[in-house]
Structure 1
Amino acid sequence: MSRKIVDIPATAHFDFLHGSYSSAKWKIPYFVTTVSLKDAAEHLHLTSEIPGSEDILWSIDELYQRDINWNRVERQIVPYLRNAEVPQFFNAITIALLPRDLAAAKIGDGFDDAGGWNPPKLESPPSYEKVVNVGPITLGFWDDWDGPHDIGFRSGRMRWNKDQVFGVAIDGQHRLAAIKSLAAGSVDPAVSNSRVPVIFLLFDERVGFQAPGRPETVEILRRLFIDLNKHSQTVSRGRQILLDDRDPHAVCVRKIVAERLSNTIDSLDGPSPRMPLSLIDWHSEQAKFDTGPYISTVLGLDWAVTKILGTKPISDWTDYVAIEKQIKALIYRLGVTLKDASARLQDQAALSMTPFVYSDEDLTEISDAFASVWSPAVIDLFTKFQPYFDLVSLRDGEGTLSLQFQEWYRLYEAKEKEKNAGGHAAQNYGKFIQRVSSREENPIGETTLQAQLYKIESFKRDSLAFNVVFQRALMEGLLEYAKFDSAQVDELAPDYESESIDFAEEQWEFSSFAPTVEGEEVVVDSEYASSGNGSTKSSTRADEMKVQTESRVIEYVRSLNRIISAVPDFLNIEMKFEHPEREGTHLFWLGSLRKPDGGIDFTQGASTRAKDILFIAAAMCLYDDRLDPGNPSDFDKFWSECRDPNGPSVCRAVYRALVRQSNDQAIGGRILKSRQEEYNCDVAEEELYWRFRYLWESVGL
């Protein structure tokens, strides 16, 4: 009689010692062993290799911690392993043994008895007192036992079916990556003679696992993964922003961005809006976003938060003077009290070299106030300013908000930056393409993904909106404009009453947002937000700031959208305008964002100069909207009121900006210098006059 022989792809045998970490609710069993570098390279995996990882809604913490810095691996860790002149030693790598559904190319939920498992047999001659199968994993014990906490359970030998178990590193990813790199086709003695300590985690009750609420295997993996990796090494500024939960700047930035990946833009709507990660470059550690699918970057948001708070991040937590300045800035910019923090700082300052730490209560007060006062304004600016709104709409319509596209672009960007054409990033990219293009459901090919990216980058091309220098100007312009309170805005209103719009009550859902049309009236909010029955709410200073910021960002964005609608070239660095008193070509952005010899000036100074252009442009629209939005207004009257020391506050603020930009180092002076003319204050101001008059007449103010 013939017998069917099942050929099981089994791992090597691993001798183990068993233990567990136990608390009142959790019991985490582990098996300690040693593994040859060759077996580690073959049987153990990186988190980026998890089957179906592109469909997992990774959180910010997980996204960063699963990322491999291959430069660090190849330039630091691998050379260390190969260096015969120094002793080598690695700490243990922690591996979670997960159920693998090879056919579906994904991670399963557990090693239940109905999984169709094929565990391999343990080879003789060792005799085992007890053998247990946990799904496709076989464990043999030298001694008998009645339960996982008996002495007999503490030692034995194990192996598993490689097709049905996925051993993934949740601690020591870079060490494992270096081992894989070293062991690939190597005959190095370090590979054949070395063994690395490994800790296997197995989330199954048969080996002593216990957890409250029976969480899914992937969720357990994620929790342990974050805890083990969060503080393992010094991280870059970009990663620190999204991982540090003790720094006020970091917690404020995280109030702007979503906590995890998503394939929708739903986080933009609701009482606590967040920017979807699909719109923010969280992984590349750069400020630029002129290419790629993003509206901004984490570093860009960090810069914006620094400007909003008016204080830099603290680098030395024993610098009590700097910390005191930061606390005062936070109180002023967020409307918080931070009484406990101030008192605690005074106490600690008396104890030299005692680092100051914000308490959980301090950080909650800071983050809640930022989320209320500033986060919605930043998100509105970065999603409702016309070019950004259009990009989000394009991406939504083209399907590039999907998790697959997000993961593809991350891998594509890493591949493009890698100097070695056949390096690890290229290999990971190739594996991803093979996986998503060959799957049964919703396959997608590389050509389609590249075509989607091309459409996005074609949309961005030649638009100032997608340059860091302009976005900084846009943000600074808003901060300048947001200084206007209701009383200052009301000074512009005519004596007669007109129907007003209460912007504090207006609902702006992203899905229903329509850009401002030419001629639409914009009127500011009342002093306080009104309740549903028309009564005035009592409000804290933070509440008042929230109402003011909400009103100003709506006005600011609508005004700029109105200008873009009327002047389509407004965001082109080569935009030209008519100068009645001078013949030839006149470049609108010359002296601010455009360099005299051509191209964009990417300096912070250029952003500051352009900031005043955007601020004045928005203030002009506000002036017209409050004065007489239904009829053409007189630009020269506006210009005259700006020069009047007793004029409205808005006009006087415009004049201060005009004075700033008329000096010899600002816009006016730079324009004259580009024409090789001697500086003259009046001529420099005249250059600004004709630029703003052109906008005024083009928009129809």
Structure 2
Amino acid sequence: MLIISNNEGKARFNKPLYGLTGTYTLSEGIALPYFLSLIEINRAIDELKIAEQIPASLDTKWSLKELFQREIDEKRVEDDIVKGYLLDPKKLKFFNAITIVLMPKGQDGKIQDTFDDSIAIEPPPIPWDGTDPEDAQWKHQDAKIANFNGVQFVSIGLSARLRWDEDRVLAVAVDGQHRLWALRTFREDQKFRGGTLRTVEQQTKIPVIFVLLHHNAGFQNVQSEADYSIRGIARELFTDLNKNAKTVDKARELILDDQSINAQCVRTLVTEKTGEDAKDRLPLSLVRWQDDSNRFDSSYYLNSLVHLDLLVSATLDLKPPRDPMEKKQVMDFIESINSSLGINEQEVEYEGRSLSKYYSEDYCDEDGEPDTPFARLPENYLESAIKGFKVNFRPWLIKLLLDFKPYRNLLLYAREHNLIEGKFGMFQAQTSKHKGIIREQEIARDSDWHKREILAHQTGIATMKEQQWAFKAIFQKAMVRLGRMVEFEYKGKDKNLGNIDNVLSFLDRLYDKGVLKVDTSLSNYPFRLWTFVAINPGNDKIKVAKAVEDRIFYLLCLWYFGSRKIEIDIANGEPILSKRKLLNFFKAEANRTQWPNCNEAYKVLYRGFDTNAFYGKDHEQLTKERKEEMVRDRFSSLLAAGLPQFDRQLSNDGVSEDEDEFDSAQES
């Protein structure tokens, strides 16, 4: 219920709320006052807001954490909370307290970072209504009265009273926004109460905690290193209150969990805010962060947040213990951490103490037996581990994710059309509800705005991705595995394998040749090039499975090995092997030390062809020798499809076309 104060035309204060006040002083130099009140359900619905009710604006840049704070899961609200809980007659209904931050609002309706003490606002009278004798008690000589920028807070001992001007202040939920929105949906939606709660329901009171972020109310903060604006503090409170609550979706966890090594590593790969571009990070404006999908082969996405997590997880290859009290499993986990994230073969450390020493001294008893579970990398060691990621993985990983030609082309298009820092990126950063509001606002001024500024570019980028393996998550994982082998396992120093720049040149050449199109044909063969490797021979559908990822990885390996060997042979003046001899060369186990696991790559890919679908309907009549010949024929042509093209003279003079079996010594 809103009451117009005696300052009519100047302020619009709500009816006073009564309750208790307290202060958190658990850190030196910090005092965080709060006010706890029981609010009638209708008042709570009317006067308390969620982040999505903050006015929409294309001018605001949002950090990752703020993006998730603003997004409401409407399906969860309606299905889980309203239908599955509030409407269940057998359920005892109870919500935890909703946490509210009073946030200053400018004349344009936008949230301000601080309360503006330079603006003088005449405080409302006490009592708020001359006919209310109970409220008159607050005009007491012992009362501490704080008036600041549209907020009036009065306390007498532990008892307190709160009002705010709704034209200048928004009461925004930083914890419990789904509960608050569920109550609003329950009351307002025509499917449920249609605007009016039943009499018995109106008796409900909602516990609400207000955080008061102004020095007049007792707020103190000596911290200066982080973001301590009103928005910054609200974001921090949201993160702290939510990260250990009900299990959140994976994308949200990646943003909120500051204790996860994976999440921390992923965040080094993307810009911190929307509308922000960088040469060495993926622009958040082009990353799919809104949901749990790992796909980025449609719409405008350069990548997906969840997919980046999968890449980081596979790249780090850590081995967390199944049993955190089993010492061998824990030691294997620590070894994997040190192997991946130690710099120059040193262990990750904190204040000079290695992780293994920390475990033996703090998690084991005097006999060296575990007495405390060790399940994840301790928080103190995260900084050292992140440094290791930035040294061992991030440089070459960012190169692959930004400089591979199809990704480079997408970024070039986005920058030429100002999609990252312009209206397109700002629009995509909005919640679904705000997108709808902004779309209607802009179309009212310019009927072609949405089609021209948003849809045209979404279609333009989507067209660039059509039938391209580069934008398939399963291919990118295989591609990154190749980069990891070259740059991490062999440190980019192996003369045969080269470095990440050689890998990029190789991938760009495949892309330019059209080999990396899903529907690429293989000359003189009935099946497409990628059939039996990654697409189904029956319906040309892409198979998504670990076995398929392995086959893509091993095919990239053989193409890369073959390309490098040809370059090396030319440089040494040696004849180039024919496609059959080159295939046999990589089949030979003797060559696996110079070309890592080349024989395993051969075996895995061979098994992909060795199927009845490949041999055809007459497969039962074919001899073993005929089947082997069919596989070798297609396999060698598949290998040749990914190798460099040389001029006619070189092909005639330098390539041995002898198709006899490779030297038996090489086969052994």
Structure 1 residue 657, shift from structure 2 partner = 1.9
Match of 2:109 in 1: 105
Separation in structure 1 between the aligned mates of residue 588 and residue 39 of structure 2, nearest angstrom:
81
Match of 2:392 in 1: 373
Separation in structure 2 between the aligned mates of residue 646 and residue 681 of structure 1, nearest angstrom:
22
- Is residue 489–residue 650 contact of structure 1 (8 Å, CA) maintained in 2? no
Q: Secondary structure at the match of 2:299?
A: coil
Match of 1:415 in 2: none
Q: Out of 134, 159, 170, which is 2:148 matched to?
A: 134
Separation in structure 2 between the aligned mates of residue 5 and residue 358 of structure 1, nearest angstrom:
58
- Is residue 661–residue 667 contact of structure 1 (8 Å, CA) maintained in 2? yes
Q: CA RMSD in A?
A: 3.6
Q: Out of 544, 549, 571, which is 2:516 matched to?
A: 571
Separation in structure 1 between the aligned mates of residue 438 and residue 614 of structure 2, nearest angstrom:
55
Give the aligned residue type for 1:196.
Answer: I
Match of 1:243 in 2: 256
Match of 1:50 in 2: 54
Match of 1:278 in 2: 285
Query: TM-score scaled by structure 2?
Result: 0.79
Aligned length: 601
Match of 1:30 in 2: 34
Match of 1:617 in 2: 559
Match of 2:439 in 1: 433
Match of 1:386 in 2: 405
Match of 2:339 in 1: 332
Q: Out of 91, 94, 99, which is 1:89 matched to?
A: 94
Matches within 5 A, 1:598-613: 598-613=540-555
Q: Out of 6, 9, 18, which is 1:15 matched to?
A: 18
Q: Out of 475, 478, 483, which is 1:473 matched to?
A: 478
Distance 1:166 1:346, change over 3 A: closer
Deviations 1:190-244 (A, max 9, x none): 6522121112223222222222268432223223332222322222334334433
Separation in structure 2 between the aligned mates of residue 367 and residue 231 of structure 1, nearest angstrom:
22
Match of 1:587 in 2: 528
Give the aligned residue type for 1:167.
Answer: A
Distance 1:57 1:446, change over 3 A: same
Separation in structure 2 between the aligned mates of residue 645 and residue 158 of structure 1, nearest angstrom:
79
Match of 1:202 in 2: 212
Q: Secondary structure at the match of 2:170?
A: strand
Distance 1:625 1:175, change over 3 A: same
Unpaired segments of 5 or more residues in structure 2? 1-5, 189-194, 348-354, 651-668
Q: Secondary structure at the match of 1:223?
A: helix
Match of 2:664 in 1: none
Matches within 5 A, 1:156-171: 156-171=160-175
Structure 1 residue 359, shift from structure 2 partner = 2.8
- Is residue 488–residue 649 contact of structure 1 (8 Å, CA) maintained in 2? no
Separation in structure 1 between the aligned mates of residue 65 and residue 215 of structure 2, nearest angstrom:
28
Distance 1:485 1:99, change over 3 A: closer
Report % sequence identity: 23
Structure 1 residue 641, shift from structure 2 partner = 4.6
Q: Out of 508, 512, 530, which is 1:561 matched to?
A: 508
Distance 1:42 1:615, change over 3 A: same
Match of 2:352 in 1: none
Separation in structure 2 between the aligned mates of residue 437 and residue 119 of structure 1, nearest angstrom:
41
Deviations 1:674-698 (A, max 9, x none): 5754463343122121122233354
2:179 is equivalent to residue 175 of structure 1: yes
Matches within 5 A, 1:485-634: 485=490, 489-490=494-495, 552-565=499-512, 567=513, 569-579=514-524, 585-597=526-538, 598-628=540-570, 634=576
Unpaired segments of 5 or more residues in structure 1? 142-150, 413-424, 493-523, 525-550
Match of 1:506 in 2: none
Give the aligned residue type for 2:239.
Answer: I
Matches within 5 A, 1:247-396: 247-258=260-271, 260-266=272-278, 268-269=279-280, 274-313=281-320, 317-334=324-341, 335-337=345-347, 338-341=355-358, 343=360, 347=364, 350-351=369-370, 354-396=373-415
Matches within 5 A, 1:111-122: 111-115=115-119, 117=121, 121=125, 122=128
Deviations 1:71-104 (A, max 9, x none): 33222322423444433222221111111114x2
Distance 1:671 1:370, change over 3 A: farther
Distance 1:376 1:676, change over 3 A: farther
Give the aligned residue type for 1:212.
Answer: V
Structure 1 residue 480, shift from structure 2 partner = 4.3
Separation in structure 2 between the aligned mates of residue 577 and residue 357 of structure 1, nearest angstrom:
48
Structure 1 residue 161, shift from structure 2 partner = 2.1
2:226 is equivalent to residue 219 of structure 1: no
Give the aligned residue type for 1:317.
Answer: P
- Is residue 669–residue 684 contact of structure 1 (8 Å, CA) maintained in 2? no
Distance 1:44 1:319, change over 3 A: farther
Deviations 1:566-595 (A, max 9, x none): x1x32222211324xxxx545211111221
Structure 1 residue 456, shift from structure 2 partner = 1.7
- Is residue 38–residue 208 contact of structure 2 (8 Å, CA) maintained in 1? yes
Q: Secondary structure at the match of 2:105?
A: strand
Deviations 1:24-83 (A, max 9, x none): 312222222222222222211112332356654444334334432333322232242344
Give the aligned residue type for 2:130.
Answer: S
- Is residue 249–residue 313 contact of structure 1 (8 Å, CA) maintained in 2? no
Separation in structure 2 between the aligned mates of residue 346 and residue 26 of structure 1, nearest angstrom:
32
Distance 1:248 1:474, change over 3 A: same
Separation in structure 2 between the aligned mates of residue 191 and residue 407 of structure 1, nearest angstrom:
41
Separation in structure 1 between the aligned mates of residue 430 and residue 319 of structure 2, nearest angstrom:
33
Deviations 1:6-30 (A, max 9, x none): 2744423322433322353122222
Give the aligned residue type for 2:403.
Answer: K
Separation in structure 2 between the aligned mates of residue 117 and residue 630 of structure 1, nearest angstrom:
84
